[in-house]
Amino acid sequence: MIERATSDEIRAQIDGTDEHPVPLLAERAGYDRQALRFKRSADEARAPARQEQVTVRVRRPAAAPGATPRPVAHVHRSTIGWSVAAELAALGPPPLDDPCAP
């Protein structure tokens, strides 16, 4: 990180930095769509154990000096939430005998 002299410089750097995750999130969404081919149920889409496994793994590098693990985990959980919601929508409504049905 480079020390900036003015608030305009800092804002410009923040704006540029904010763009970095966008292509990575798009790439992740593509892999999420691919993974959907192997999921047959809402339980497989929700996969809470897998969600926790991934969140723990992402939290490790976020513990590096200068990083903040809690916001990183929050953003990642949000990303997972959107992914699961998209998968559930793609899977369609559950059958009437699905025990996970609302």
In a domain, 80, yes or no: yes
* Structural domain boundaries enclosing 49: 42-89
DSSP codes, 43-65: HHHH-HHHHHHHHHHHHHHHTST
In a domain, 14, yes or no: no
CA distances from 14 to 3, 18, 29 (A): 12, 6, 24
In a domain, 19, yes or no: no
Rounded to two decimals, what is the model's pTM? 0.74
Number of domains in the chain: 1
In a domain, 71, yes or no: yes
In a domain, 65, yes or no: yes
CA distances from 47 to 5, 54, 67 (A): 46, 11, 28
pLDDT in the model for residue 2: 84
In a domain, 74, yes or no: yes
In a domain, 23, yes or no: no
User: CA–CA separation, 91 vs 34, rounded Å?
Assistant: 13
pLDDT tens, 37-86? 999 999 999 999 999 898 888 888 888 888 888 888 888 889 999 999 99
In a domain, 94, yes or no: no
